[in-house]
Amino acid sequence: MAHAHTVKRYTGLMDWLTTVDHKKIGILYLIGGGLFFLLGGLEAILIRIQLMYPQNDFLDASTYNQVLTMHGTTMIFLAVMPIIFAFMNAIIPLQIGARDVAYPFVNAVGFWMFFLGGLLLNVSWFFNGAPDAGWTSYVPLANNEYSGKGVDFYVLGLQIAGIGTLAGGINFLVTIINMRAPGMTFMRMPLFTWTSFITSALILFAFPAITVGLVLLMFERLFSANYFDVAAGGNIVLWQHIFWIFGHPEVYILILPAFGIISEIVSTFARKRLFGYSAMVFATALIGFLGFMVWVHHMFTTGLGPIGNAIFSIATMLIAIPTGIKIFNWIFTMWGGQYSFNTASLFAAGFIPTFVMGGVTGVMLAAPAADWQYHDSYFVVAHFHYVIVGGLVFGLLAGLHYWWPKMFGRMLNETIGKFSFWTFFIGFHMTFLVQHFLGLWGMPRRIFTFLENQGLDELNFISTIGALLMGVSTIAILVNIAVTQMKPRNAPADPWDGRTLEWSIPSPAPEYNFKQIPLVRGLDALFKEKIEGKKEMTPAEPLGPIHMPSPSILPFTMSIGLFIAGFGFMYARWDFDNGFLDAIFGHYIVAGAGLLITLVSMLLRSVFDDHGYHIEVEELEKEVHA
Ligand code: HEM
Ligand SMILES: [Cu+2]
């Protein structure tokens, strides 16, 4: 018999600060990641304006270093990762027929840690300057001697954001293993769920490495340890190994979910089941595994010797095999299908050739002798932007247009959408295609200006125009969102004639997702029902009360505590020339106060039992007939 608990419900801002609903957290991730994406994009434009003309003085060298570092760091950690998490949150529970993620509270903790860690990183602009040692923070450049206070913000901001990512990754592993609807075997899981599953596993193994690295760098900078100080017996190559043991898998953490999104969209709009489903699954797993075996290709030029270089070169090239399998399977899915073009499917189609070009230059870079030439030139910049923007960002934009109706209950405008696709596509290739040649012709990366008449003038100019065109596209996307937001909320449950479970429930999904958990009878569960003439899923359980978790402010306060503690640690030994500030920051008082807020929040979470609440059957039935 159902027992009613008191229902805690908040409205307005409090609703968002306390929510533990995966769909709302998905929206929060989209807003947070979206804002950082705009910031990182603005930084990219500043970089490109500085490089528009030779010997330009739009930015000085030191500001340039900060903008460059923050562009890379923001894009990787604070923009594209959270947007991936936005889709994982919004869609995975729906795709596997679940009511929520396994740990809704931890899910909220993950979001707030990311957001406040990212905020900490970015407030550095207003305190003694932003990080300036590159997104890789190589030592000794990142040591106190050579870099500014900003690197402390990098170390602590990323540490806090990293806790959030790790928590999110673990949550999705458990969710996907434990919460699948009856009949949803692993080999019936949609590809987006599969790739997110492997990505979560990669997060679990890769993030501890960067955490350890950041702790070492923190000790080095804040407490004068000597891990990387050669004069004191430290080793600088150690940082590179730790960083790239994390950093290379990170690239796959980013790209695999995009592969999943592309798979969903290609098969939906080709109106065919995905070609080679099981090969796709195994290729994903293989890419994930090999992703950990190749980090040394970032260090070919550090002088590891021919044997090491050869092994890692071959391992790197092997990744082209499963990746090639995926590319061919997408093409075979489209082949003979009736591929229809709208904004989402255009981004998905544009992804394929663009990503392939990034893959080809990747294989070129994987040959150590050739890498000796390309290393630290604009060729590398072109390569990784083809992969990361041409692959991942195309995938995210495809997903955005595809799932927008499910997340917000409104259909985006197709005309503006197609305009944003074409400006983005053309702008992207204009920006980055020419950078291959800039690199081959000798332009080094991470420089704030170049001399005129070295053969670099025209292509740099073209590259900047392309970047501005991508800016136009971004504005068009924002306009599209604003226009759409003013329309009524009338998106159908299944606007694309979809194949997977998220399209079997209303748009946007009700707070409990599925009134009754569905019974899954095959791959493309919804489509299977449709071809048998049914309009909805067969339920796997009788209608009954649904148990929901209570909202809570504690994830937010926990993260606020760490945010404050971050400041405390950074400025504990700082000389403020101000007695009051010196007194409260000295002796780690602010640091302690911040940690206390976090610990008390954790304590409150463990001592107060909160059993959540129920949505009763009467209420569920009411909503159906409404
Ligand atoms: C879409 C427009 C973008 C433009 C025009 C752009 C432009 C640039 C430029 C000019 C550089 C400087 C290269 C150098 O001097 O080494 C750079 C670096 C970088 N970009 Fe982008 N970028 C864009 C998007 C992205 C995205 C979406 C990501 C990641 C998700 C990204 C990640 C990076 C990274 C990691 C670096 C290296 C930073 C460093 O060396 O510290 N970029 N970008
Ligand atoms: Cu790599």
Q: Among residues 498, 354, 331, 333, which one has the least CA distance to residue 421?
A: 354
pLDDT at 579: 83
CB neighbourhood size of 3 (10 A): 7
Residue of 171, 194, 178 lying closest to 108 (CA atoms): 171
With H, G, I as helix, E, B as strand and everything else as coil, classify residue 103: coil
CB of residue 467 inside a 6 A radius of ligand 1: yes
- Give the pLDDT score at 10: 87
Decide if 493 contacts 506 (C-beta within 8 A). yes
Say what the pLDDT of residue 555 is: 97
- For the cut 60, the answer to whether the pLDDT of residue 626 exceeds it is no
Confidence of residue 572 (pLDDT cuts 50, 70, 90): confident
| 56 contacts: CB under 8 Å, gap ≥ 6 | 49, 50, 449
Which residues are bridge partners to 292 per DSSP? Answer: none
| The two three-digit tokens of residue 179, written as one number | 């919460």
- Reported as half-sphere exposure (CB side, CA atoms, 13 A), residue 191 has a value of 29
Give the residue among 474, 505, 33 at the shortest CA–CA distance from 257: 33
Q: How far apart are CA 398 and CA 401, in angstroms?
A: 5
Position 533 scores a pLDDT of 92
Nearest CA to ligand 1 atom 38: 72
Helix (H) or strand (E) holding 613: strand 613-615
Specify the pLDDT at position 99: 94
* Atom 4 of ligand 1, residue of closest alpha carbon: 44
136 CA distance to ligand 1 middle (Å): 12
Is the backbone peptide bond immediately before 140 cis, with ω within 30 degrees of 0? yes
Which of 342, 537, 361 shows the shortest CA–CA distance to 439? Answer: 361
- pLDDT greater than 60 at residue 5: no
Q: Hey, CA dihedral for 58, 61, 63, 68, is it positive or negative?
A: positive
Distance 301 CA to ligand 1 centre (A): 22
Ligand 1 pocket check for 429: Cβ under 6 Å: no
72 lines ligand 1 (CB under 6 A): yes
- Ligand 1 atom with least separation from CA of 134: 41
Beta-bridge partner residues of 544: none
75 close to ligand 1 (CB < 6 Angstrom): yes
- Residue type, position 273, single letter: R
Cα–Cα dist 50/67, whole Å = 11
Query: Quick check: pTM over 0.85?
Result: yes
**Are the CB atoms for 155 and 565 separated by under 8 Å?**
no
* Tens digits of residue pLDDT in 166-186: 999 999 999 999 999 999 999
How does pLDDT run across 576-607, given as a tens digit for each residue? 888 888 888 888 899 999 999 999 999 999 99
Q: What's the 470 CA to ligand 1 centre distance in angstroms?
A: 13
Ligand 1 close to Cβ of residue 135 (< 6 A)? yes
Would you say the CB of residue 439 lies under 6 angstroms from ligand 1? no
Ligand 1: centre distance to CA 44 (Å): 6
80 Cβ closer than 6 Å to some ligand 1 atom: yes
- Asked if the model's pLDDT at residue 466 lies above 50, the reply is yes
The predicted structure's pLDDT at residue 1: 40
Q: 389 CB less than 6 Å from ligand 1?
A: yes
Query: Beta-carbon neighbour count of residue 27 at 10 Å?
Result: 19
| 380 Cα nearest atom in ligand 1 | 16
- Owner of token pair 């392309």: 466
- Ligand 1 atom, smallest distance to 80 CA: 30
Confidence at residue 624, expressed as pLDDT on a 0 to 100 scale? 54
pLDDT at 29 exceeding the cut of 60: yes
Measured in Å, residue 393 CA sits from the centre of ligand 1 at: 12
| E-assigned strand segments in 232-375 | none
CB 470 near ligand 1, within 6 Å: yes
Best of 67, 121, 381, 431 for a ligand 1 pocket test (most atoms within 8 Å of beta carbon): 381
pLDDT of residue 581: 84
Which one of 42, 64, 75 would you pick to mutate in the ligand 1 pocket, going by the greatest count of ligand atoms within 8 A of its CB?
75
Q: Answer for the pair 552, 108: CB distance below 8 angstroms, yes or no.
A: yes
Helix (H) or strand (E) run with residue 546 in it: strand 546-548
Burial of 580 (0-12, 13-18, 19+ CB in 10 A): exposed
Whether residue 153 contacts residue 187, with contact meaning beta carbons closer than 8 Å, is answered with no
The closest ligand to the CA of 386 turns out to be 1
Query: Residue 118 has what pLDDT?
Result: 97
Ligand sitting nearest the alpha carbon of 295: 2
445 C-alpha vs ligand 1 centroid, how far in Å? Answer: 10
Our answer on whether the CB atom of 381 is closer than 6 Å to any ligand 1 atom is: yes
Residue 335 identity = W
- pLDDT, residue 501, reads 97
pLDDT at 148 exceeding the cut of 90: no
Spatial neighbors of 581 by CB under 8 A, at least 6 apart, are none
Decide: 44 in ligand 1 pocket, CB within 6 A. yes
Which residues partner with 615 through β-bridges?
546
Q: Which of 22, 193, 196 is nearest to 104 (CA)?
A: 22
Note the pLDDT of residue 625: 45
Specify whether the CB–CB gap between 253 and 284 falls below 8 A: no
SS3 614: strand
Calculate what percentage of the chain has a pLDDT beyond 70. 98
In a 3-state reduction of DSSP, which class is residue 292?
coil
> Which bound ligand lies closest to the C-alpha atom of 434?
1
Closest-CA residue to 568 (of 584, 554, 548): 584
To test the ligand 1 pocket, which listed residue (68, 347, 447) has its Cβ within 8 A of the most ligand atoms? 68
Check if 68 has its Cβ closer than 6 Å to any atom of ligand 1. yes
Please enumerate in sequence order all residues whose Cβ is within 8 A of that of 598, keeping only pairs 6 or more positions apart, or say none: 557, 558, 559, 561, 562, 565
Q: What φ, ψ does residue 518 adopt, rounded to 5°?
A: -80, 160
Measured from the CB, is residue 48 less than 6 Å from ligand 1? yes
Q: Is 134 in the pocket of ligand 1 (CB under 6 A)?
A: yes
Q: Is 250 helix (H, G, I), strand (E, B) or coil?
A: helix
In 3-state terms, what secondary structure has residue 602?
Answer: helix
Task: Report pLDDT digits (tens) over 397-455.
Answer: 999 999 999 999 999 999 999 999 999 999 999 999 999 999 999 999 999 999 999 99
